[in-house]
Amino acid sequence: MPRFKLEGMSQDPLPPPPKVRTGQTLTKLTKEEYLKRWRQRFYDPAFLSKNADLDAIAEIAWDAYADERKSPRTRKAGPGFVDPEYELSVEWLEARQAIVDAQKCQESSDSASRVLLICASPRTDQTCPSEMSKTFRLAKTACEVIDGVPRFEVDFLDLSVMAAEYGRVIYPCKACVSTAMPLCHWPCSCYPNHYLGQSQDWMNEIYPRWVAAHGIMIVTPVHWYQVPSTLKLMMDRLVCADGGNPDPTSTHGKNPEEAKALELKGWNYPRHLGGRTFAVVAHGDAEGAGSVRRALHDWLADMNLFPAGEAAVFDRYIGYYKTYAVSHDELDRDDAIFEETRNAARTLVQAVTNLRAGVCPPDQDLADPRPK
């Protein structure tokens, strides 16, 4: 497009659009390898009598894989989208509607105050650890406090079920945001991906639970200087809540060129979970509790949530360098950490009460000069 020179103004040429870089490891399987992996789902000898039926179903599965049918059920986006004629996944539209409904409930003055209480440990007595986690005990202590407050509700999210419950899975983030922020859709549209067998993604249920909450409380152990993988998977998949694109038709699905162009026009990085308040309890047995507590604090604050107060965010060691076999006994003897957990819950309750009464931190209405 020609550019016209204006008196007294620099007429530097427009930079070329960013190039989409490709060329990583190829992942497309041959039919032989695909069917070999597919049949591993039916390893139990009890399936041998149904081999003919499985062969027929395998052909359907292969056809879906070869045709890359990620979202086999779609419908037109309809009014309210940039391109109302674009076909969107029915599952994504259902997840979006659940978020819309949750937001309406969260904003309603008639609704009870809601706290999403997250037990982040993968340990559970329902599978091979054969013993509950200390995290669960602390989280339940906080739950009792919040449950006892009139017009407060607790949504208890126990991430340990990912290790013990059939079909309960959170798939990893694909980092679409690093291509361009508008390519990261809110809620995430990367999953389910049916032709890859990536179904039953739990995040479509978890997103509205975050949205419905006025306060978030995370109770977590330390795993190798970091949060447990169960919690980290959920954290990574919440990137779409911080700047994500609520309209996939604006990028016509996962079109990287369109997403880059849209971001370069100017993106407002919407904070979909901003304005909520949080508490964090991190515990360890040797190292890392402080760094985990700080990381969670900073992550939540980066999403424009604010700490409920000094007593609401803390880290402690249980049975410092003691043998693992007596760790629950050490917790039994530590009355202080139970009371500190109660105080964190009480502080969160007060912060939520203030928030709903219109009392917010003084920086909540300031414009962010670095919204990314």
| pLDDT, position 184 | 98
Phi, psi of 82, deg, nearest 5: -55, -45
| pLDDT, position 195 | 97
Tell me the sheet residues that pair with 201.
169
**Is the pLDDT assigned to residue 294 strictly greater than 90?**
yes
| pLDDT, position 1 | 38
Q: What average pLDDT does the structure give for the chain?
A: 95
pLDDT in tens, 270-284: 999 999 999 999 999
| pLDDT, position 4 | 36
pLDDT in tens, 46-56: 999 999 999 99
Alpha-carbon separation of residue 60 from 63, 66, 195, 310 (angstroms): 5, 10, 10, 57
| pLDDT, position 13 | 67
CA 246 to CA 223: how far, in whole Å?
Answer: 34
Annotate 339-372 with b (16+ C-beta within 10 A) or e (fewer): ebbbbbbbbbbbbbbebeeeeeeeeeeeeeeeee
| pLDDT, position 12 | 61
The pTM assigned to this predicted structure is 0.94
Binned at pLDDT 50, 70 and 90, residue 360 comes out as confident
Structure-block tokens of residue 160: 């340990």
Domains of the chain, first to last? 73-100+115-356 (3.40.50.360)
**Is the pLDDT assigned to residue 321 strictly greater than 90?**
yes
| Nearby residues of 267 by Cβ (< 8 Å), 6 or more positions away | 181, 182, 243
| pLDDT, position 6 | 40
| pLDDT, position 9 | 43
> Residue 372 is which amino acid?
K
CA angle 330, 333, 337 (to 5 degrees): 90
Over residues 281-292, mean pLDDT: 98
CB 171 within 8 A of CB 206: no
Over residues 78-88, mean pLDDT: 98
**Is the pLDDT assigned to residue 7 strictly greater than 70?**
no
Binned at pLDDT 50, 70 and 90, residue 36 comes out as very high
**Is the pLDDT assigned to residue 372 strictly greater than 80?**
no
Annotate 138-153 with b (16+ C-beta within 10 A) or e (fewer): bbbbbbebbeebeebb
CA 298 to CA 312: how far, in whole Å?
Answer: 14
CB 309 within 8 A of CB 303: no
SS3 content of the chain, % helix, strand, coil (to 5): 45, 15, 40
